[in-house]
Amino acid sequence: MKKFLAILLALLMCVSLLAACGDGSTGGTSGGTSGGSEANSPAPSAGGEATGGTASGAAFKIGGIGPLTGGAAIYGTAAKNGATIAAEEINALGGIQIDLRYEDDAHDAEKSVNAYNALKGWGMQIFLGSVTSTPGVATSVEANNDHVFYLTPSASSTDVLGGIANPLTGTVDIQRKDTVFQMCFVDPNQGSASAQYIYDQSLATKIAVIYKNDDVYSTGVYNSFKPKAEELGLEIVSTTTFTEDTKTDFSVQLNDAKSNGADLVFLPMYYDAAALILTQANAMGYAPKWFGIDGMDGILSVDGFDTKLAEGVMLLTPFNADAEDERTQSFVEKYKAAYGEIPNQFAADGYDCVYAIYQALQNANVTDYSLSASELCDVLMEQFTSMSYDGLTGDGMTWGSDGAVTKSPKGMFIEDGVYVGMD
């Protein structure tokens, strides 16, 4: 009998210990993490990052996609960081709450669609879109088909929006995707604005253009720059191209520009290729003026690039980190404190995307976090085509029924390793 009681007591102790081990590892709702998703929310896919969320879990779920790894990571990381600061500021106000999650697409269209599906599985209600244009074209189709509101910070191709006439043919190549909007300039605006700026500032008499002919961003800008330059009487003396497979040697392009006497080279491209072009031009003793667009923002951060070669480089961008208004200064200081660097235009666009959505939700007096993505899409589409928004990247911004934003670009140049306003 004593032996039986001893065995029974030992069994009871084991059961007690197992119950104690189970407590805390399963069941219950613990406090929120940095992402603050509800305890019963689906887990994000591998690589998903939750930022700027709330501890309570009562929030609008906003998803974003961008290259957080790979050669274009400077764009995606900056947009995510800017959006995170905006979400944290909004959540601190105590009204509308935002749960923000980003997925990595490594600037790849297929990976971007996979990331979009992961965000849908998480329960995304509002979409910040893809950061770069080629993935943005792919995910904008998905979001439009699903009737999810899409506001990209920087995917600037007209093919992201659809429904905008080709500047050369006048025809619409892709039908309008009604749920898709952009915070950035569309490519035709960047191209024509660049030609206008070069003309207005009398920056050149002979222009060379080097563009990437297998990239919708680069070709889109060139296709609007060329007719505008011709309209203004600017002389384009050299037009050469490259592809993803040939973006290591630019000797042919640079020799063509130099031999034709180009005193300004227009570079509608991303910063990585531009850094190589400046390096190789310096090696051959060619020193024209260089003019780029928003994709050049980031050239000072290229590993191994001699930033002295970027002195005097000009570009059009909607954001000036040196601006003296209180909002810009506050954002720059918060960004520097959090990430150890000065924010670029992509960070400012990410910040503006979140705040523009926040303003639209406030305008519509929407506070029901249980609304479906489709219901919120209807609300946001109505607001964005009727409201005006003042942000870091422009005052009095408006959106047309085509989803494109109207705002004014700023001329910048690089001096002593920083961007300085030209105007």
Q: What is the mean pLDDT of each run of 10 residues along the chain (423 residues)?
A: 41 39 31 31 46 66 97 93 98 97 97 98 97 94 97 91 66 83 85 92 95 90 94 97 95 98 96 95 97 86 90 89 90 97 93 98 97 98 97 94 87 85 73
Q: Determine, yes or no, domain membership for 43.
A: no
Q: Are residues 382 and 401 in the same domain?
A: yes
Q: Are residues 85 and 117 in the same domain?
A: yes
Q: Determine, yes or no, domain membership for 416.
A: no
Q: Determine, yes or no, domain membership for 6.
A: no
Of 293, 317, 341, which residue is a domain's last? 317
Q: Are residues 54 and 175 in the same domain?
A: yes
Q: Are residues 171 and 246 in the same domain?
A: no
Of 297, 317, 337, which residue is a domain's last? 317
Q: Are residues 74 and 143 in the same domain?
A: yes
Q: Would you state the pLDDT for residue 15?
A: 38
* CATH number for 110: 3.40.50.2300
Q: Determine, yes or no, domain membership for 328.
A: no
Q: Are residues 106 and 213 in the same domain?
A: no
Q: Determine, yes or no, domain membership for 21.
A: no
Q: Are residues 76 and 105 in the same domain?
A: yes
Of 266, 283, 317, which residue is a domain's last? 317
Q: Determine, yes or no, domain membership for 337.
A: no
As for how many domains the chain has, the answer is 2
Q: Are residues 153 and 222 in the same domain?
A: no
Q: Would you state the pLDDT for residue 328?
A: 95
Q: Are residues 78 and 180 in the same domain?
A: yes
Q: Determine, yes or no, domain membership for 369.
A: no
Q: Are residues 168 and 291 in the same domain?
A: no
Q: Would you state the pLDDT for residue 318?
A: 85
Q: Are residues 192 and 91 in the same domain?
A: no
Q: Determine, yes or no, domain membership for 354.
A: no
Q: Would you state the pLDDT for residue 226?
A: 96
**Residue 103 sits in which domain range?**
49-185+376-408
Q: Would you state the pLDDT for residue 66?
A: 98
Q: Would you state the pLDDT for residue 302?
A: 87
In three-state form (DSSP H/G/I as H, E/B as E, the rest C), the secondary structure along the chain is CHHHHHHHHHHHHHHHHHHHHHECCECCCCCCCCCCCCCCCCCCCCCCEEECCCCCCCCEEEEEEECCCCCCHHHHHHHHHHHHHHHHHHHHHCCCCEEEEEEECCCCHHHHHHHHHHHHHHCCCEEEEECCHHHHHHHHHHHHHHCCCEEECCCCCHHHHCCCECCCCCCECCCCCCCEEECCCCHHHHHHHHHHHHHHCCCCCEEEEEEECCCHHHHHHHHHHHHHHHHHCCEEEEEEEECHHHCCCCHHHHHHHHHCCCCEEEECCCHHHHHHHHHHHHHCCCCCEEEECHHHCCHHHCCCCCHHHHCCCEEEECCCCCCCCHHHHHHHHHHHHHHCCCCCHHHHHHHHHHHHHHHHHHHCCCCCCCCCHHHHHHHHHHHHCCCCEEECCEEEEEECCCCCEECCCEEEEEECCEEEECC
The model's pTM:
0.74
Q: Are residues 88 and 126 in the same domain?
A: yes
